[in-house]
Amino acid sequence: MWKRIYEWLDERLDLRGLYKNTLDRPEPKGNWWNTLGSATLFLFIVQVATGIFLATYYTPSPDHAYDSITYIMTDVRFGWLIRGIHHWAATLMVILVFVHMVRVFATASFKYPRELTWLIGMGLLLLTFLMGFTGYLLPWTQRSYWATTVGTQIAGTVPFIGPFILKVLRGGTDLSALTLQRFFSAHIWMLPVALGALIAVHIYLIARQGESYWPRKED
């Protein structure tokens, strides 16, 4: 029964080919340093899942943002767990993408034909930082308020267009409800969608080109 369902699906979807090309593809040599990208992908999926759950209770308004998070942490069953995972996985993800980048750099894996994978990876690194930056404001605590004040102020020091960037980031000259709302929309829509799209291309390139060989002494 299950076999027939599987056969039916396989005939149309080529599940075997999919499996072979993604999970069963030949690797140059087993190495834990080559698992950092997968680990980051796992964290991204965890962040999407826990983020979606947090959105059930969180509200991005200056009046209620902090209260809604207090509610998640104290009153909702397992709220502490969902938010705890989101918080710590975010920190870990920033660390992992950075170590992943260092690994790729150290093994010279960014060279031909993988320049595009590297460039997209740079985009992913930037987007991950932006996720951290926008997510930091959402609890609307003193710490997040002033961190965002300082962060946007730094962006505002760009010559000539600085004041313009500052106003775009804050949705005005000062931190306000508009800032919180646009950081929220960036955090849950724009940045994740961009991240997801770039991750898809990143993984496609890896599946297509395979992993790079570990450099030998003579390289």
Task: Tell me which residues touch another protein (CB under 8 A).
Answer: 29-33, 46, 49-50, 53, 56-57, 59, 64, 67-68, 70-71, 75-79, 81-82, 85, 103, 106-107, 214
Q: How far is the CB of 114 from another protein (least distance, A)?
A: 17
Q: How far is the CB of 88 from another protein (least distance, A)?
A: 13
The two tokens of residue 192 are: 């994740």
Unique residue bearing structure tokens 């080559």:
34
Q: Which is nearer to another protein, 87 or 103 (CB)?
A: 103
Helices (H) and strands (E) in the chain, counts: 10, 0
Q: Which is nearer to another protein, 99 or 155 (CB)?
A: 99
Q: How far is the CB of 168 from another protein (least distance, A)?
A: 30
Contact 127, 194 (CB under 8 A): yes
Contact 128, 97 (CB under 8 A): yes
Q: Which letter, b or e, does each residue of 110-140 get, where b requires 16 or more Cβ atoms within 10 Å of its Cβ?
A: beeebeebbebbebbeebbebbebbbbbbbb
3-class DSSP state of 75: coil
Cβ of 157: how many Cβ atoms within 10 Å?
10
Q: Which is nearer to another protein, 12 or 77 (CB)?
A: 77
Q: Which is nearer to another protein, 55 or 158 (CB)?
A: 55
C-alpha–C-alpha distance, residues 128 and 138, integer Å: 16
Q: How far is the CB of 82 from another protein (least distance, A)?
A: 5
Q: Which is nearer to another protein, 30 or 159 (CB)?
A: 30
Q: How far is the CB of 120 from another protein (least distance, A)?
A: 23
Q: State the DSSP H helix or E strand holding residue 6, giving kind and residue range, or none if neither.
A: helix 2-13
Q: How far is the CB of 91 from another protein (least distance, A)?
A: 18
Q: Which is nearer to another protein, 51 or 169 (CB)?
A: 51
